[in-house]
Amino acid sequence: MTDNSYVHRLQAGAPGKPILFVLHGTGGDENQFFDFGRRLLPEATIVSPRGDVSEFGAARFFKRTGEGVYDMADLARATEKLASFVAALAKLHEASDVLGLGFSNGANILANVLIEKGLFDASVLMHPLIPFQPMANPALSGRKILITAGERDPISPAPVTKALADYFESQHASVTTEWHAGGHDIRQNEIDAIHRLFEPYR
């Protein structure tokens, strides 16, 4: 199924319930977090797009020129595309709230949509990497953001993660950061924190 040229999976919820967008990491696809999203919010509309960029066969949401080095023009393109996709489906399904969850590359595109557009009422950024200084955005005020991270993550270094959390706090978002002692892997305390963030939307 395609919409705005994203291949995606979708499970429609009831009108007036939230819509949750789940975004995979590099090499994942629309199946990576779809069932997790359904378990998190059984009555919500769940949407899982597949990134439209191929990096040696691995799906991503935007191009990069090296590890941690982003193609900023393609990031801008991808941000506009995802924002349009999210806004159109949220309107179509009469969603009460727009929610997002992304891991690694999926967290990065979700973070940049937040930075540029606001748009999401509550978001989970799992092991994000934003290696640039984001612009100010008053629309972030009051947005709920959970950042999960590994203290020894070689792909998303802890100081860069902390700088992103500080940025969102400076924009008056409601920010929670959940750490574990490992690297670029997802652990149970992250899952527990995600459940706590989304509990009010069940």
Active-site residues, by number, are 104, 153, 184
**Closest C-alpha among 91, 19, 77, 83 to residue 48:** 19
Q: Where are the beta strands (DSSP E) in the chain?
A: 2-3, 6-11, 19-23, 45-49, 53-55, 58-60, 64-66, 69-70, 98-103, 122-126, 144-150, 174-180
d(CA 103, CA 96): 24
Please, what is the Cα angle at 41 between 47 and 143, to 5 degrees? 80
